[in-house]
Amino acid sequence: MFSFSLAGKNAWITGASYGIGFNIAKAFAAAGIDNIIFNDINQDLVNRGLAAYKEAGIENVHGYVCDVTDENAVKTLVEKIHAEVGPIHILVNNAGIIKRIPMHEMKRAEFQQVIDIDLVGPFICSSAVLPEMMERRAGKIINICSMMSELGRETVSAYAAAKGGLKMLTRNICSEYGEYNIQCNGIGPGYIATPQTAPLRERQADGSRHPFDSFIVAKTPAGRWLEPEELGGPAVFLASSASDAVNGHVLYVDGGILAYIGKQPK
Ligand code: NAP
Ligand code: GCO
């Protein structure tokens, strides 16, 4: 019998001091998770995250400084989590950045940095937790993909390449480790109101909406940006036994953007 409960489980959510990762953690807490583990790239962010979780009434939280692109640091963190918290039943590869630069102007190092954080990072973190999941013959890995796992647009070549790769990494982990009762799925958020998209929603000097803001509203059937809280339910589903037969799937939580040609101009 399936359950949406996460009682008895520990979840490591990368980059979850705020934004989507923080809201997924809140949803996990509401679903009864035993321990939330998160990392961020500096102590200030970790402290900010710990304070935010405390303010949200979530006490069973453990924050660590770790850059997901640093293989040795990730391996050390997993050992520390095992010693201080316990097993990792659920991994959410959430940490990510975007650079919005026309491709012909983007430097190789800028392209590489996005690939390293958004694609190599999930590879490193997943590789670090797979051994225990294989031994336990149970585990959940959730990769935070994107509309750009399916679509391209101007200025986000590195991000689209990374998120497209993350979709296929999701499918390959499913393929290679499904026999160990490990489910690896993706969540493909639409356009979510977080710091990452804040530049796309900034009011113009004359007080009008950012052109991209209006564009996304027209591309979303609901006619609005989505809120990070709206990713919580899908994440709980993919983290729980309710999704044990779901593997290699990217669940798009986009308000219908991928299904919609866009609102016709009046
Ligand atoms: P966000 O607000 O920018 O948060 C990203 C988090 O990841 C931040 O805490 C960030 O720390 C952390 N991070 C960045 N690089 C890291 C590294 N090397 N190691 C560890 N942590 C690192 O982004 P978000 O909007 O919540 O997005 C979270 C995930 O959802 C990302 O993978 C993003 O691509 C994806 N996504 C977002 C949207 C959207 O519309 N917002 C839609 C689809 C997918 P810093 O503060 O130091 O950068
Ligand atoms: C952008 C946005 C998007 C969102 C998200 C969409 O510049 O187009 O940042 O990439 O972050 O990935 O799913």
Instruction: Report the percentage of the chain scoring pLDDT > 90.
Output: 98
Confidence at 69, pLDDT banded by 50, 70, 90: very high
Residue closest via CA to ligand 1's atom 8 equals 15
pLDDT in tens, 190-199: 999 999 999 9
Question: Does residue 1 register a pLDDT over 90?
Answer: no
pLDDT of residue 2: 79
Question: Is residue 56 in contact with ligand 1, taking CB distance under 6 Å?
Answer: no
pLDDT in tens, 21-54: 999 999 999 999 999 999 999 999 999 999 999 9
Q: How many CB atoms lie within 10 A of CB 115?
A: 17
What pLDDT, on the 0 to 100 scale, is given for residue 245? 97
pLDDT for res 51: 98
Active site positions, annotated: 159
The predicted structure's pLDDT at residue 49: 97
Q: Tell me if 185 sits within 8 A of 238, measured CB to CB.
A: yes
Q: Are 34 and 60 in contact (CB under 8 A)?
A: yes
Mean pLDDT confidence for 222-250: 97
Structure confidence at residue 61 as a pLDDT band (50, 70, 90) = very high
- Map out the domains of the chain as residue ranges: 10-192+225-256
Span 178-201, average pLDDT = 96
- The H-assigned helical ranges of the chain are 19-30, 43-55, 71-84, 108-115, 121-136, 157-177, 211-219, 232-239
Ligand 2 centroid to 123 CA: how many Å? 21
CATH of 10-192+225-256, one of 3.40.1160.10, 3.40.718.10, 3.40.50.720, 3.40.50.1440: 3.40.50.720
Residue nearest to atom 35 of ligand 1 (CA): 144
Amino acid occupying residue 239: A
